Amino acid sequence: MSVKAIKTHKWVQYVALFSGVPWTIVLITFLAYWKSQGSPVYPWMIPSDSETATDADAWKHYVHMNPVYISDVAATKLQPLFITGCLLTALMYLPCLTFEAVMRFKTTYANAKVKWLRYLNLGVLLFAFGGQIGIFLVSVFNTRLHPHLHQIFLTVFILGIVGQLICQIVQHGVLTHNYPKLFAHETKRFTMKNPFWVSLISRIAFTIVAAVLVIMFKVVNFESYGMNARFEWTLSFFYNFLFPITWYDLRHLNCHIEEFNSVLRFKLEAQDEKKEIREMAEIDTTVPSAGESTSDEKEAEEAGNSMA
């Protein structure tokens, strides 16, 4: 790793760790604002097929919601905060993923000798960028004025995160399998010393918990008590655990690359040593020994004898 890359790596890993701070601030502010208003039910929460905003059948499923959905609070005057939080999270998180992808492309995947890992690396970036663009557009098109676009971009965000996780799980699964090949002194794959294995089980655990929360959010339909809204808020806070996993990957990226570089230097030194040995051998074959004379010396000696 170059000196510039090492300096960049020192602060990139901490940017990744704190990427979820803007998102967390937004969620906490939303809850505090909604509570400060007296925990209201907003008019745009009522389905559009309701005849009036005071229709009893329309209100009965929402009047006791505690809390309301995140999108409903985001449609208030706090929408600029929502937009800012989503944008800051994306601007902090995506460069970190890009830095990790570039460095692994140059070292880890090259040493693993599995070419299609690079395509997965590209897939991680594409899905991550798609997901972050999706959540940003979710914040721009609120559920009050653009309900259909809001749902479309929310789906884009979810699919982006799912695609990113799938690519990363496959990546780290392959790297875990190739761990002994990458590090000659390591013989065990499934050990906590193997950061690829730690990242793999962390992402699998994250995916399982997130999937359970999504299923509960979709299946549980106790809207009068806001149960599915609680699952939505829980899932949104749980989303922050994705950033420490990225921090962990970046934290161990430096030592991996340094070891790869040391191995590469060792190989280059060995090649240079072999080259020097070959050159010395060639010189030895061309230079005559002390007891031998060259053809020119022999001709001069014969000419001297004839003149005598």
Distance CA 66, CA 58 (A): 17
pLDDT computed for residue 33 by the predictor: 96
pLDDT computed for residue 284 by the predictor: 62
- For tokens 């970190």, name the residue: 96
pLDDT computed for residue 41 by the predictor: 83
pLDDT tens digits for range 258-282: 554 444 454 445 555 666 677 677 6
Residues whose CB is less than 8 angstroms from the CB of residue 303 and which lie 6 or more positions away in sequence, other chains included: none
CB 239 within 8 A of CB 20: yes
Helical pair 147-177 and 195-219, crossing angle rounded to 10 deg: 150
- For tokens 């389905």, name the residue: 47
Q: Of 61, 175, 63, 181, give the one whose Cα is nearest residue 121.
A: 175
pLDDT computed for residue 67 by the predictor: 86
pLDDT tens digits for range 156-214: 999 999 999 999 999 999 888 877 776 656 667 788 888 899 999 999 999 999 999 98
- Residue 148 amino acid letter: H
Burial of 205-237, coded b for 16+ CB within 10 Å and e otherwise, reads: ebbeebeebeebbeeeeebeebbbbbbbbebbe
CB 5 within 8 A of CB 103: yes
Q: What is the pTM of this model?
A: 0.76
Distance CA 213, CA 162 (A): 14
The pLDDT mean for the chain works out to: 80
Environment class of 246 (CB within 10 Å of its CB; exposed 0-12, middle 13-18, buried 19+):
buried
pLDDT computed for residue 87 by the predictor: 97
Alpha-carbon torsion 210, 215, 218, 219, what sign?
A: negative
pLDDT computed for residue 285 by the predictor: 65
Distance CA 115, CA 119 (A): 8
Tell me the DSSP string of 10-50. Answer: HHHHHHHHTTTHHHHHHHHHHHHHHHHTTSPPPGGGS-TT-
pLDDT computed for residue 219 by the predictor: 78
Distance CA 60, CA 65 (A): 10
pLDDT computed for residue 53 by the predictor: 47
**pLDDT in tens for each of the 308 residues of the chain?**
454 555 556 788 899 999 999 999 999 999 999 999 988 888 887 765 544 445 555 556 666 677 889 999 999 999 999 999 999 999 999 999 999 888 877 766 555 566 778 888 899 999 999 999 999 999 999 999 999 999 999 999 999 999 999 999 999 998 888 777 766 566 677 888 888 999 999 999 999 999 999 888 877 765 555 788 888 999 999 999 999 999 999 988 765 555 544 444 544 455 556 666 776 776 766 655 555 555 555 555 565 555 55
pLDDT computed for residue 253 by the predictor: 78
pLDDT computed for residue 64 by the predictor: 67
- Residue 196 amino acid letter: F
Q: Of 85, 97, 207, 75, give the one whose Cα is nearest residue 135.
A: 85
CB 235 within 8 A of CB 70: no
Phi and psi angles of residue 69, each rounded to the nearest 5 degrees, phi first:
-70, 150
